[in-house]
Structure 1
Amino acid sequence: MVGEISARMSQETVAAQAMLTRFAEWRGREPESVAADTTYGNGEFLQWLADRGITPYMRTRDSIHRKNSPFYGPERFTYQPESNSYRCPAGQQLNYGGRNQRNRTYAYIGTRKRCGACSQKAQCTTGAFRFLAIHMDEPARQRARELANTPEFAQAQRQRKKVEALFAELKNQIGLRRLRLRRLKFVREQFFLAAVAQNIKRLVRFLSQGPRSILPATT
């Protein structure tokens, strides 16, 4: 993290890519998995991980919205590659309507005739017809959603919290809420010194425990 401390919120995934690339160069292999919070659960980063065979243990950025939405999510719609369309839960077709390059999504649209008389319309949309936005990296996002329901995901998130606790200690106990120096090289030095203080605390705690008693062997 020290090498990427200047990253802004909008650049966090770029910083993560740089750190993972350095890890691969150092160890000669990609990491098996990455655990992170929802900030990193965007389609571009998830696809970047998928291209490298890295398992993503993070929720997609739309997870909270989907959880609270009373309407059918994109996972309830079935893609039909032969016609480049989607079939809704009621069996009706949503035709391709173009793409939004800025949001990196493809649009699939129902019709007033099909949606208006549908018995499941209340579970699908409040509009005259259903508009379905599918992210260009939707397969990678769907893979992340599936992983979020596995025991491995829960274990990875528990491990992540241990790391997060160290950053909370730096911020709340060691006083690293604000940087006191300017220029990146001085900021790095401040982080290194804070990390040294953190490790010394643990060393003192370890040494103060005294020798551990060895239980006699039993037969």
Structure 2
Amino acid sequence: QHSIDPIVFFKICLVGYLNNIISDRKLIEYCSDSLSIRLFLGYDIDETLPWHSTISRTRQLYEEDIFEEVFQYVLNKCIDAGLVQGSTQSIDSCFVKANASMDSLEFKVPEQELDDYLKEVRHFSSIDKDQNPKRKVKHNKARKEQRIIKADKHTLKSIATRQKKWSREQDQRPGAKNKGSKYTSNKTHYSPVDPDARISVKPGKARKLNYYAQMGVDSDYQIITAIKADYADQKDNQCLQSLTEPIIKNLSSKAIEIENLLADAGYSSGENYAWLEDKGIKSYIPPHGTYKGGPENFTYHKEGNYWECPEGKHVTFRKQRIEKGTLKDLYLTKRSDCKGCPLKTACIGKQHEKKIMITAYREHYERNKERLRKRPRHKTERMKTIEPVFGTLTNFLGMYKVNTRGIQQANKCMLMAGAVFNLKKLLKYGRKPLKSVAKANKITQKSREDLVSKTNAFIRKIISDVSPYNFSKTILN
């Protein structure tokens, strides 16, 4: 097929997102049937629009940097129009459907690729042992490292134990007593159609192949300052730094600095609190429920870095170590201090000394909690800023599903959806108010005259090309 003008390509993408159309085939059909869109694209009524495959191929050929530049250009226009305050940013995430089916999932194999070993680890349902995937793919797009099991034997054993009851009661594929249900996990399954898509796990929701949309929104006019696609098996606190850096980069081009960052408890971690403080950003992120601040009835003394028990004994700092990926401080008492203590049984049971393991970022947690106490409406402020944006994107601007495959292509789609959202905001709020009614009437009259003249010229051309006789002057005059 013929190539396409880059300007026409982005105009077609703009039409698709504005009309909530994600299918390239349906998008070209819609553009072909609309005279106004043909005029917008620069195509005459008898000219053929590009094929839908040309749109898909062109999207794949363009680098992500080009789509980022388009998003940045629209964002700069919003900043110039005074729609971005910049000091307070809210971040959140949501799942976006991937263009892959759960029925095409296949099992990851060990590096030695032994079929006998496969049957040993396929302990989830009988359908996995005896049958192939319901929808066998023609071409497996997954790389070799994506097909290999990376979980150790202990992890696989824990999965088997946790799902023993599930496999007994729901032996036939996802959902209770569904004939096609089976237990799926990113550690044991992959999608050969779209290897970058991940199985999302959320309480009360069915397991689906999704992408993770991470987004930052300004609190003034709800302008999107950064948006990116991530893997759906990531946790929010693992994505905070990679999301905040583009926000800082996009706003710093206009000399705007972030002062406050609002997020939900999913983004909380000591590492994130410390990283934001190093960047000079105040975090307003509720700590996760697992953070307790220290043992009950124990008092912390910052000067000596020790905890004091109710009996006045010191639990002193010994060392730092990483536990489950988190840096923690280890505090211990002496055996002689706990020997003969009247509270020993209730405090340490059969142990010989008191042991306290607490996050090494405790001071960062406490400073964040103090900021939350002084700003009690942070949750309402965050929700009213970012939740409507996600609702608009997923329901009206074509981000309810990614119609491409691969995380790079998904990132391009999300960048375009964010640019279109900002463009609509710019057209709605970025116009300068008219000083008088007379001026408004004058502009309206001028626009009407221009529209009439262009329409007449367009109709003249149609009649002169179609009719064997030149009736255009008689009809239009």
Structure 2 length normalisation: TM-score? 0.35
SS at match of 1:98: strand
Show the counterpart of 1:144.
368
**Residue pair 1:80, 1:87 contacting (<8 A) in 2 also:** no
Show the counterpart of 2:331.
108
Amino acid at match of 1:33: N
d(CA) in 1 for partners of 2:365, 2:274: 8
d(CA) in 2 for partners of 1:26, 1:65: 38
Amino acid at match of 2:369: R
Shift, 1:170, TM fit: 2.9
- Shift of the 44–121 alpha-carbon distance from structure 1 to 2, 3 Å rule, reads farther
- Shift of the 24–119 alpha-carbon distance from structure 1 to 2, 3 Å rule, reads farther
Amino acid at match of 1:147: R
Amino acid at match of 1:94: V
Show the counterpart of 2:315.
94
Is 1:181 equivalent to 2:387 in the alignment? no
Map 1:20-169 to 2 at 5 A: 20-23=247-250, 25-61=252-288, 64-66=289-291, 72=296, 76-82=298-304, 84-101=305-322, 102-111=325-334, 114-115=337-338, 117-119=341-343, 122=346, 128=351, 129-150=353-374, 152=375, 154-162=376-384, 163-169=386-392
Q: Percent identity?
A: 21
d(CA) in 2 for partners of 1:170, 1:195: 8
Amino acid at match of 1:85: Y
SS at match of 1:4: strand
The C-alpha deviation readout for 1:18-48, integer Å capped at 9, x for no partner, is 1343145224353111001112211111011
The C-alpha deviation readout for 1:118-151, integer Å capped at 9, x for no partner, is 55975x666634322232222111111222222x
d(CA) in 2 for partners of 1:23, 1:92: 53
SS at match of 1:91: coil
Amino acid at match of 2:259: E
d(CA) in 1 for partners of 2:311, 2:254: 50
The C-alpha deviation readout for 1:177-219, integer Å capped at 9, x for no partner, is 431113556434433554577679989x99xxxxxxxxxxxxx
d(CA) in 2 for partners of 1:121, 1:179: 58
**Residue pair 2:284, 2:371 contacting (<8 A) in 1 also:** yes
Structure showing greater Rg: 2
- Shift of the 120–169 alpha-carbon distance from structure 1 to 2, 3 Å rule, reads farther
Unmatched 5+ stretches in structure 1: 207-219
d(CA) in 2 for partners of 1:121, 1:25: 58
Unmatched 5+ stretches in structure 2: 1-214, 216-225, 430-477
Structure with the bigger RCO (C-alpha within 8 Å, sep 6+) is 2
Compute the RMSD of aligned alpha carbons.
Answer: 3.8
Amino acid at match of 2:332: I
**Residue pair 1:78, 1:88 contacting (<8 A) in 2 also:** no
Shift, 1:16, TM fit: 2.7
d(CA) in 2 for partners of 1:14, 1:200: 26
The C-alpha deviation readout for 1:30-67, integer Å capped at 9, x for no partner, is 31110011122111110111123211100123xx1356
